[in-house]
């Protein structure tokens, strides 16, 4: 029994990782409480999760706080853009529902806006966590990556959609559980897909070899590679 729960046992390592994810989820929710800091908190969580997936994390809380501070300015900009886009999308559907005659144009604009928002923001926080770039370059890269890896992106979208439905719409008990794990689970799912895509792009452009040769790593959680594209 002592061996089962020793620090080197698989059971202890799994329990330790689950605890790390619970702590990370709490940090994400706490960092998102002011709403305007949601972007910085999301980038910080993506930064930590990407490091976990690459087995190079050095401490959940320390990594989160460092990435949060390093990406605060860019995160605030992304928060404002996110809020503005969501407001515009909701306005389109509101106008469709409440305008006389239910003008079809508002419904079309709503779905078009939703699709544009999805492709531009699907990878944007993961990109901001891994690379140095402007906000608008990250948004453009997210769109380009989604379009190029359309099958993987749609599969990831379907999985994330299922996770959202399971934790937030299926049962009240899962809704309670989801408050403790769902956000970081969704981010983990997207990070796993994003990391494979990033590695493919990096290998094509020689970034992976350059990073290995130079020992280049993430500086203060702000990104791994310099450049205009992922």
Q: Sort 214 into a burial class: Cβ within 10 Å, 0-12 / 13-18 / 19+.
A: exposed
Beta strand 225-226 with 131-132: parallel, antiparallel or unpaired?
A: parallel
Residue matched to tokens 């089962």: 4
pLDDT band for position 218 (50/70/90)? very low
Q: Sort 183 into a burial class: Cβ within 10 Å, 0-12 / 13-18 / 19+.
A: buried
Q: Tens of pLDDT along 73-120? A: 999 999 999 999 999 999 999 999 888 888 889 999 999 999 999 999
In whole angstroms, give the CA distance from residue 9 to residue 207. 36
**pTM listed for this prediction:** 0.84
């Amino acid at each position: 029994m002592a061996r089962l729960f020793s620090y080197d046992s698989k059971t202890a390592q799994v329990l330790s990782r689950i605890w790390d994810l619970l702590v990370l989820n709490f940090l994400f929710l706490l960092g998102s409480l002011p709403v305007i800091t949601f972007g910085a908190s999301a980038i910080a969580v993506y930064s930590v999760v990407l490091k976990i997936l690459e087995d190079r994390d050095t401490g959940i809380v320390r990594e989160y706080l460092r990435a949060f501070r390093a990406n605060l300015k860019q995160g605030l900009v992304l928060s404002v853009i996110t809020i503005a886009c969501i407001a515009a999308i909701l306005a389109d559907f509101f106008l469709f529902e409440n305008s006389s005659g239910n003008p079809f144009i508002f419904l079309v604009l709503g779905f078009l806006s939703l699709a544009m928002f999805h492709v531009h923001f699907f990878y944007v926080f993961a990109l901001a966590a891994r690379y140095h770039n402007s906000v608008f370059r990250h948004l453009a890269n997210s769109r380009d990556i989604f379009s190029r890896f359309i099958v993987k992106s749609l599969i990831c979208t379907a999985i994330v959609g299922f996770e959202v439905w399971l934790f937030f719409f299926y049962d009240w008990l899962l809704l309670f559980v989801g408050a403790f794990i769902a956000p970081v689970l969704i981010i983990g799912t997207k990070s796993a897909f994003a990391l494979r895509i990033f590695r493919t792009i990096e290998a094509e452009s020689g970034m992976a070899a350059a990073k290995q040769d130079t020992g280049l790593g993430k500086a203060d959680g702000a990104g791994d590679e310099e450049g205009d594209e992922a």
